[in-house]
Structure formats: structure tokens, C-alpha cells
Amino acid sequence: GQNIDQPTEMTATEGAIVQINCTYQTSGFNGLFWYQQHAGEAPTFLSYNVLDGLEEKGRFSSFLSRSKGYSYLLLKELQMKDSASYLCAAMDSNYQLIWGAGTKLIIKP
């Protein structure tokens, strides 16, 4: 079956760096997405990886290893506003998204 695994919850300190991991198993693969969802709000797009390697976008970076079925989202210089859930989603061979349950990130001062 198709599956996405990511930690349920993580805690980090303001100003620090945190890495949120995601492993996926899909029938075929057409890319890996990360979305951010603040409590009570809609998910918003953060990043898309389809090739192996690291994509950097400001304080946020996303990494993909297709051979390992693995991705991570790296958040640097954490701010209180980064407290949110981070959703990993993999696109299968039919271009359908398989979603993880999200990682709730708690930032402490």
C-alpha cells in the first residue's frame, strides 16, 4: 500500500534549527511536497522536490532522496510564527497526492 510517515510532534527553540523527516512508499513517484498549516487555517505550499538533492528557499530547505524514499524539511533561525503543522505529501504515478498526518512543530522561546 501507499504510505507516508512523519513524526507526530517536535519541539524546538526560537533561533535554532529543526529538521522534520518524512519517509514515503508510493506506487510510482512524481514528486514530494511540503505544506505548512497553522492551527485553524488552510495548508499553504512550501516546497516541491522531484530530483535528488537540496532545494533552498530562504530559511526553509527541502531535501529528497528518491532511492531511500526519504525527504526532510529544514527550518533555520526558527521564529515563533513557525509554530505550525508541516504536511508531507508524495505524488504517485497517477499524479495523486498521498498525505502524511503532519508534524506539529512547537517553538519555545
Q: Are 88 and 21 in contact (CB under 8 A)?
A: no
Candidate ranges 9-17, 45-53, 58-66, 74-82; the one touching other proteins (CB under 8 A): 45-53
Among the listed ranges 19-27, 56-64, 66-74, 82-90, the one in contact with other proteins (CB under 8 A) is: 82-90
* Sequence-ordered strand ranges (E) for the chain: 3-5, 9-13, 18-25, 32-37, 44-49, 53-57, 60-65, 70-75, 84-91, 97-99, 103-108
Q: Is 84 in the site for other proteins (CB under 8 A)?
A: no
Exactly one of 31, 55, 66, 83 binds other proteins (CB under 8 A); that residue is 31
Cell 535554532: give the residue.
16
C-alpha cell at 90: 508524495
Please say which residue, 16 or 50, places its beta carbon nearer to other proteins.
50
Which residues contribute to the site for other proteins (CB under 8 A)? 30-31, 33, 35, 40-45, 48, 50, 85, 87, 89, 91, 95-97, 99, 101-102
